[in-house]
Amino acid sequence: MEIPLSRLQLVRWTLILAVPLMLCTAAAQQSVVAPPVELVRQAVQNETRTIDSAKYMFRDHKETPQGSQTKLMVETCDAMAGIVVAINGRPLSPEQRQAEYFREERFVQNPEELKKKQRQEKDTNERITRILKALPDAFLYEYDGTAASDGRVGKPGDDLMRLKFRPNPKYDPPSHVEQVLTGMQGYILVDPHQERIAKIDGSLAKDVGFGWGFLGHLDHGGHFLVEQGEVDNGHWEITRMGLALTGKVLLVKSLNIKSTEVFSDFLPVPSTLTFAQGLDLLKKQEATTAENREQSSETHQ
């Protein structure tokens, strides 16, 4: 004869059976992970979909085998304005500073020079966009763990998804711009919460021709690094770039590029800032920095 379960026994058995069922369901849900290429594709779409109107003044410190150079830069609605403020860590002399002002003022005095600069920046942005749009198809990806944002890479506090990549043998670059990707391998960090690319670290696994080999080639072992992160509320900027490339241009001229650039101290500026206004802002910022430097020097004497 069957003995009916009491209400309390029913509750207990329901809990006992429900716990492993919920655990199995959760495990099944966690195992359903989107293909890594889709994570990259969504991040690329976000990188290229919207042009952010926010503009910033920032510091650009570049190091090469020949020495270092520090610039103050500002984004304007016309073009990027920038002046050198230090060479090898030493501030410019008054004469050097005036030469820098004169170099940038030519864009204010000569509209054709400014238009030329605008075209050059537009061409550069278009090449970068083409490279970004090629990332989902140019490589094969696989998950490779996670990495924590360090404040310069990604959004502070976010866990970043690490993806290893290698060349996709089926990828056919549409132009010489994307051709460099056919020999690159490395890893990429994606912020899955913001759906943004936080870092690309790649090296050339073989010699790669550009211009389909007629213009030149890049040597095996070359290295390419780009990092970006959130520098303001929801606004991302490139914070570091590194290049170490050798090769040939026009099959004769040697190519040797080795540099590291760090971008920091981002300060928002009006989105309607003109080039002339941007240059004035840089001059004021440099004057303030020089004055603070002199006061600090007097204090320590």
Concatenated DSSP letters of 13-64: HHHHHHHHHHHHHHHHHHH----HHHHHHHHHHHHHH-----EEEEEEEEEE
**Residue burial 230-264, b: 16+ Cβ < 10 Å; e: rest:** bbeeeebbebbbbebbbbbeeeeeeeeeebebbbe
Provide φ and ψ at 279, rounded to 5°.
-65, -40
Is a pLDDT exceeding 60 seen at residue 155? yes
Identify whether 110 is part of a domain: yes
Identify whether 29 is part of a domain: no
**What confidence score (pLDDT) does residue 176 get?**
81
Mean pLDDT of 64-74: 96
* Nearest of 261, 256, 165 to residue 205 by alpha carbon: 165
> What digits encode the pLDDT tens for the residues 251-276?
667 888 899 999 999 999 999 999 99
- DSSP conformational letter for 11: H
Would you say 153 and 159 are in contact if contact means Cβ atoms under 8 Å apart? no
Identify whether 198 is part of a domain: yes
Confidence of residue 21 (pLDDT cuts 50, 70, 90): very low
Identify whether 94 is part of a domain: yes
**What confidence score (pLDDT) does residue 24 get?**
38
**What confidence score (pLDDT) does residue 278 get?**
96
Is a pLDDT exceeding 50 seen at residue 11? no
Q: Which two tokens stand for residue 170?
A: 């089926």
Confidence of residue 31 (pLDDT cuts 50, 70, 90): very low
Q: Mean pLDDT of all residues in the chain? A: 84
Least confident of 14-28, 94-108, 188-202: 14-28
Amino acid identity of 9? Q
Identify whether 18 is part of a domain: no
CA distance 232 to 227: 16
**What confidence score (pLDDT) does residue 217 get?**
78
Would you say 229 and 58 are in contact if contact means Cβ atoms under 8 Å apart? no
CB atoms within 10 A of CB 107: 21
Identify whether 3 is part of a domain: no
Q: Which residues pair with 165 in a beta bridge?
A: 141, 186
Number of domains in the chain: 1
Whole-model pTM: value is 0.81
Q: Which residues pair with 187 in a beta bridge?
A: 164, 201
Mean pLDDT of 48-72: 89
Is a pLDDT exceeding 60 seen at residue 214? no
CA distance 228 to 211: 29
CA distance 253 to 229: 36
Mean pLDDT of 75-90: 95
Identify whether 218 is part of a domain: yes
**What confidence score (pLDDT) does residue 116 get?**
96
Mean pLDDT of 105-132: 93
Is a pLDDT exceeding 70 seen at residue 174? yes
**What confidence score (pLDDT) does residue 251 get?**
60
The proportion of the chain whose per-residue pLDDT surpasses 90, expressed as a percent, equals 60
- Domain hosting 294: range is 36-299
**What confidence score (pLDDT) does residue 287 get?**
83
Identify whether 5 is part of a domain: no
* Structural Rg of the chain based on CA atoms: 26
* Residues in contact with 154: Cβ distance below 8 Å, sequence separation at least 6, in sequence order: 160, 189, 191, 194, 196, 198, 199, 229, 230
